Copies of this chain bind each other. A is one copy, B any other.
Amino acid sequence: MKEVNDKTKVRRVPKRGIYDQEEIYKILDNDSTCTIGFVHRGVPVVIPTIYGRHENKIYLHGAASSRMIKNLEEGFDMCFCMHRVTGLVLANSAFHHSMNYESVVIFGKAKKVEGKEANLFALKVVSDQVLKGRWEEVRQPSDKELKATTVLELEINEASAKVRNEGCHNDKEDYELDIWTGIVPIEKVYQNPIDDDKMRNGIPVSPSVKNIYNNGIT
């Protein structure tokens, strides 16, 4: 990864900036959706999509006919952004309200992944990021399906993360007010799986799906 530079430096609240590669990986691995920025006909465009990370690469995929995919494949400058809210920070003054979050921003140009094996590998990375173990359970992509899909890779070279994970920063004198202050953690929770209504009866929920429930399916 490149040294922090003018592009990747965290401007607001610089102490929250993280430039350590392993820390950035850890944050990236906590989610699977991002937004991608690129410039189309002079105008910035931001589109949400899913991603996977393996070693120092982000993998993205989409329909080969997608405008975003085609632009990125051509080598447009892009900006990858993921963010995940982890809590509400409820101060006793309006001004000191905040959120706890983790975010990563990566600058660069994407490159098309070439070759069947490399494409399958990258698609498995994306699939694992969403639901570990699912890839091995399902029908693998046909050549026709692979042809309809473009996979892109982005090196994690110009990147920074920003994290807030702490309590409130209230003004000292505001503690004299009779106002509750604290944080409310937020979690992503998987509800019980719902069978596809065209599926044959008696097929049990897959292990990959069972694994996401800490306390089992209720």
Q: How large is the interface on A (under 10, 10 to 19, 20 to 34, 35 or more residues)?
A: 35 or more
Report chain B residues within 8 Å CB of A95.
139, 141-142, 145, 149
Which of the listed residues A79, A80, A93 has the most CB atoms from chain B within 10 Å of its own CB?
A: A79
A99 touches B130 (CB 8 A): yes
Distance in angstroms from A162 CB to nearest chain B CB is 9
Report chain B residues within 8 Å CB of A178.
203
Whether, in the assembled complex, A25 has its beta carbon less than 8 Å from a beta carbon of chain B, the answer is: no
A90 touches B131 (CB 8 A): yes
A48 touches B179 (CB 8 A): no
Which residue from B79, B168, B185, B188 sits with its C-beta under 8 Å from A37?
B79
Interface string of A166-198 (1 = CB under 8 A from B): 011010001101111111111111111111111
12 additional A-B pairs beyond A33-B99, A36-B46, beta carbons within 8 Å, are: A12-B63, A42-B77, A45-B79, A46-B105, A88-B130, A94-B135, A97-B134, A167-B196, A175-B200, A178-B203, A180-B195, A185-B191
Give 8 closest A-B pairs by Cβ, nearest first.
Answer: A48-B83, A46-B81, A37-B46, A37-B37, A93-B139, A37-B44, A185-B191, A95-B145
